[in-house]
Structure 1
Amino acid sequence: MSALRNTLVASVASVGLNGCVYGYINDAATGSAMQDVTVTVASGICSGSGCANPIIQKSDTSGVYIFDAYGNQHGEDQVQYLMVAGGEEALKLVYSRAGYRTVNVFHKPNYENVQQDGETYQVSNVQTVYLCALTAPDSDTDGVCDAAENRYGTNAFSSDTDGDSISDFAELYGSGGVDLRYYGASPTKKDVFVEMDYYPGLKPLQAALDRVTAAFAAAPVSNPDGSTGINLHLVLSQQIAAADANMDLNPAWADFDVIKAKYFPARRAPFFHYALVANQYDASGSSGLSRGIPGHDFMVTMGNWSTPGGTEQQQAGTIMHELGHNIGLQHGGNEGMNYKANYLSLMSYGYQLRGLMKDGTDGVLDYSRVRLASASEASVSELNAFSPIAPTTEADLSHYGVRIGTVLRTGNASANLDFNGSGVIQAGFIAQDLNNDGDTSDFINASQNDWTALIYHGASTIGDANLGSNNNLVAPQTFLVRPETTERCITEFEGRR
């Protein structure tokens, strides 16, 4: 490598980024490579001998363009090392050619090492772009013509193929300065994005975050690409400065907003929920709070618990619980009733901090994936436990243990359930408090399958402009529970009862 290239690599290595940005451009109609497409850096910084104004490259006969940081492709007098501009998080690349629609692509460099001729280079691949002719139809008006949608495997008649309230365009190309593909977004598999900021000393455990992510990945949710599960992107972003870390958010949302305005980039608002891991709010010991159901924001507040910030299980359960409120789940699934014994979900106080008991394993993170029939507290059968509602079966219920309040009873949700904890499975019918309110006079409604009831639009705060003709996928500003009436979540004391 020449002295010039050595100097360049040494200079950019100091900021941890060095290498080539490159990508492929094809014709949407034919799928063939496109030559002489101009790629202009509309937002970004260029270092090197080839940084003219404007900063451009053109695709070659194979449809490839390369912003070359090493001088291997275009010569040492045409070195172009691209960096994200200050205050931004992605490059903005503009693709243009006469007779074709201009496309803006946001790319956050994600460098990988490659070997060539005994040398190691760092390169960042921009997603393939299929350019559309000016006259090409775009049935769903999302900015991706029908021919390109066919290439990407998306639905030409829905601007949100996977139904996650983020447009196909945004998941393919990024939007508003955010490169969703960098985080792993797909237009054919549901994505949920959360930025998490945290107080000093309260950084969530990576193991807790990984468990929540895995729970979403294992969700019984079907996707257009044939897979199951939801891609949850918990982006642990930054620590709140000690001077800004208000130790009691009081009033909760007013103080929360002071921090959010300083730390959460507005460009992420159409795509990311915002979570703040803080000490406490409203002088309470509550584990957290959601800003309405569904909603855009939530807080996790276990700083004053006996294990500051919570144990791994408490962190994982509470993060998933509060996010559950943000995506439309109440403490009783589709209602506010808490400790609902026939509702097997992390959304219930009975399971938030402990997880579910499934197949003999305690601490399982999951929303309800089974439906249990209604029950009368005045008359329950320990022999028969709860009844399933199709498509849930008795066999499905037999996998689950049941908590009455927060106490795990012997038996399972299908049969031989020691409702009253007497140690004996009684014949006939008995009265039992099934919602932890101290009486046995309530009728407990049937429970829902949470995973099929999720609301992705965050009360219309999640969703971008490229939803096009399917903009009705983002409902009017509606809450199942308004922010001012959202119930605070469990305290450490309540979790011990």
Structure 2
Amino acid sequence: MKKLLLLATSAVLINGCIYGTVKDANTGSGVYQAKVSVVKGSCSGNGCGFPESTDSSGFYVFDAYGDRNGSANTKFVTPASAEEAVTFLVSKPGYQSRTFYHKPDYEKITYDGKTYYVSDAPVVYLCPYGSPDSDGDTICDSAESRYGTDPYDSDTDGDRLSDAAEIFGYDGVDIRYYGADPLRKTLLIEADYYQAFKPDQAALDQVIQAFADAPVSNPDGSTGITLAIDLDDRISASDEDSNLSPVWTDFDVLKNKYFESRRSKLFHYALFVDQYNGGTSSGISRGIPAHDFVVSLGQWPTPGGTVQQQAGTLMHEFGHNLGLMHGGNENANRKLNYLSIMSYDYQMPGLTVDGNSGVVDYSRLKVNAISGNISEFSAMSGYGGTTESDLADYSVRRHGNWLTGTASSNLDVNNNGILQTSVYVGHFNASQNDWDNINFAGGGSGGTIGDGHLGASSMMMFSLKSQGTPEYMVEPCMTPEDM
């Protein structure tokens, strides 16, 4: 960063420079006079006709100011037309070349009264010719040790995005820009929308935070999942279809126009629309698990839904994309012992946890089966690490009504104001911890998540998993009458 402060501000240029370092994968030291070329990008300035060379520390900069490389060699680089990232190539005799994709994310830096705009490209560890690559992900073993990734697993964090894609991007897409990290699980959604049904940012933030708070462990020692929602295109008025019918036929007309195919192995695709198949369903997933889903709250009392309804429906439909059914691991809706946004009981109002209402979350609990009758005094019980203390944090909703008591005790399941030792509630199978059962691969006819740098072992493991239930078997999700 200190080297960047040699650059002076310019009143003419609004954006700034792209910089990075190139190092030897074996030694970790800077590679001198490696060439960093713009393979695909838009360049303006006086010095666009040649690549940058690294200095003795491996540092290079595409200088938009003209102060470091000289005014005759300025380069202002941006993605080319119809591209979302600049394509760079790093090369040096004796080393394997490396392509990477970089979408500039400029940071404003003020130093000594001057302003700089800089964007940090990924560190590139060049692999000498002949370097072994045990997992076949295009990153040699010695470079993997530098990045902290597993040289024997092309997807160190298990999110179906290869280590190479999370560091260098894939097929013209820089997912590092969206927060992808090979040591922390990442999920990506592109969301397009009709003008009247643009989701509220507060709803998106609520779901993003729910994933960040997820009880899921990562190789870097953190917990949670990075969910990036790219609220991308507003569907033009001339393309808006007020009723997607048949839903997936009409959906594909819009998807084919607005969703770039280069993203198909990286991003799930969502449309926020009016309605589908002439009904009032809140949404639908293209399978379980799946790649695509619809949020369709246009015919609800608040057209487009309240912030809470948007958040609940987004997380619910995306949950289907991730392999979750209305009963977690089964299509058994409104299970009394299943405390998840996937149940109609909680999709719209959210869960109430530790007195906080409106919580959007998948099940964190493993709850034992209920065989007919229940004691309202002792309520439910957990297994596999779920304790009475965990259950005591949760309020329970049944038949559209919040019950007094908690999932752990004093639960008035028939809502008659009297606690009883035995009340018939029906038979419910044991409920799962949803977060333990997330399917990162998607599936179904909309496509699967998983880029071409995943090694053979990762692809083999995926082939053993379900490709998703056919789209015609997926139930439409809830209507206003179901609340």
The two structures have a TM-score, normalised by structure 1, of: 0.93
1:451 partner amino acid: W
Which of 438, 441, 454 lines up with 1:454 in the alignment? 438
Which of 59, 79, 88 lines up with 1:64 in the alignment? 59
CA distance in 2, matches of 1:9, 1:63: 29
Equivalent pair of 1:197/1:237 in contact (CA under 8 Å): yes
Equivalent pair of 1:25/1:130 in contact (CA under 8 Å): yes
2:403 partner amino acid: R
Q: How does 1:336-375 map to 2 (within 5 A)?
A: 336-375=331-370
Partner in structure 2 of residue 149 of structure 1:
144
Task: Say if 2:169 is the partner of 1:174.
Answer: yes
Q: How does 1:123-272 map to 2 (within 5 A)?
A: 123-272=118-267
Q: How far off its partner does 1:475 sit? A: 2.8
Q: How far off its partner does 1:394 sit? A: 1.2
Partner in structure 1 of residue 379 of structure 2:
385
Equivalent pair of 1:341/1:405 in contact (CA under 8 Å): no
Secondary structure at the aligned position of 2:211 is classed as helix
Partner in structure 1 of residue 476 of structure 2:
488
CA distance in 1, matches of 2:313, 2:367: 24
Partner in structure 2 of residue 436 of structure 1:
none
Partner in structure 2 of residue 466 of structure 1:
453
CA distance in 2, matches of 1:39, 1:9: 27
CA distance in 1, matches of 2:153, 2:337: 37
Q: How far off its partner does 1:342 sit? A: 0.4
Partner in structure 2 of residue 38 of structure 1:
35
Secondary structure at the aligned position of 2:435 is classed as helix
Equivalent pair of 1:343/1:372 in contact (CA under 8 Å): yes
Equivalent pair of 1:356/1:366 in contact (CA under 8 Å): yes
2:170 partner amino acid: S
CA distance in 1, matches of 2:465, 2:246: 23
CA distance in 2, matches of 1:200, 1:214: 25
Task: Say if 2:410 is the partner of 1:426.
Answer: no
Secondary structure at the aligned position of 2:238 is classed as helix
1:389 partner amino acid: Y
2:76 partner amino acid: Y
Secondary structure at the aligned position of 1:194 is classed as strand
Equivalent pair of 2:187/2:226 in contact (CA under 8 Å): yes
- Structure 1 residues 362 and 369 mapped into 2: Cα distance closer, same or farther (>3 Å)? same
Partner in structure 1 of residue 3 of structure 2:
none
Higher mean C-alpha displacement, 285-294 vs 466-475: 466-475
Partner in structure 1 of residue 300 of structure 2:
305
CA distance in 2, matches of 1:395, 1:119: 55
2:21 partner amino acid: Y
Q: CA offsets, 1:26-79, max 9 Å, x none?
A: 111111011111111000011111111xx4111011111111111101111111
The two structures have a TM-score, normalised by structure 2, of: 0.95
Q: CA offsets, 1:252-287, max 9 Å, x none?
A: 000000000000011111110000000000001000
Partner in structure 1 of residue 463 of structure 2:
475
Q: CA offsets, 1:435-460, max 9 Å, x none?
A: xxxxx4xx310000000000000026
Secondary structure at the aligned position of 2:209 is classed as helix
1:411 partner amino acid: G
2:16 partner amino acid: G
Equivalent pair of 1:280/1:302 in contact (CA under 8 Å): yes
- Structure 1 residues 102 and 337 mapped into 2: Cα distance closer, same or farther (>3 Å)? same
CA distance in 2, matches of 1:273, 1:27: 36
- Structure 1 residues 107 and 480 mapped into 2: Cα distance closer, same or farther (>3 Å)? closer
Which of 366, 380, 391 lines up with 1:397 in the alignment? 391
Secondary structure at the aligned position of 2:105 is classed as coil
Q: Which runs of 4+ in 1 moved over 6 A?
A: none
CA distance in 2, matches of 1:371, 1:239: 40
1:20 partner amino acid: C
Equivalent pair of 1:351/1:406 in contact (CA under 8 Å): no
CA distance in 2, matches of 1:481, 1:152: 37
Partner in structure 1 of residue 76 of structure 2:
81
Equivalent pair of 2:340/2:361 in contact (CA under 8 Å): yes
Secondary structure at the aligned position of 1:201 is classed as helix
Secondary structure at the aligned position of 2:463 is classed as coil
Equivalent pair of 1:463/1:474 in contact (CA under 8 Å): no
Q: How far off its partner does 1:473 sit? A: 3.8
CA distance in 2, matches of 1:146, 1:103: 15
Secondary structure at the aligned position of 2:47 is classed as coil
Secondary structure at the aligned position of 1:214 is classed as helix
2:199 partner amino acid: P
2:430 partner amino acid: A
Which of 406, 427, 432 lines up with 1:412 in the alignment? 406
Q: How far off its partner does 1:121 sit? A: 2.1
1:137 partner amino acid: P
2:438 partner amino acid: L
Equivalent pair of 2:210/2:361 in contact (CA under 8 Å): yes
CA distance in 1, matches of 2:463, 2:312: 29
Equivalent pair of 1:313/1:353 in contact (CA under 8 Å): yes
CA distance in 1, matches of 2:289, 2:217: 21
Q: CA offsets, 1:284-334, max 9 Å, x none?
A: 100000000000000000011111110111000000001100011000000
CA distance in 1, matches of 2:337, 2:224: 24
Q: How far off its partner does 1:9 sit? A: 5.5
Q: How far off its partner does 1:116 sit? A: 4.7
Secondary structure at the aligned position of 2:469 is classed as coil
CA distance in 2, matches of 1:122, 1:473: 43
Equivalent pair of 1:165/1:473 in contact (CA under 8 Å): no
Q: How far off its partner does 1:143 sit? A: 0.5
2:451 partner amino acid: D
Partner in structure 2 of residue 49 of structure 1:
46
1:327 partner amino acid: L
CA distance in 2, matches of 1:477, 1:367: 21
Q: How far off its partner does 1:362 sit? A: 1.4
Equivalent pair of 1:292/1:479 in contact (CA under 8 Å): no
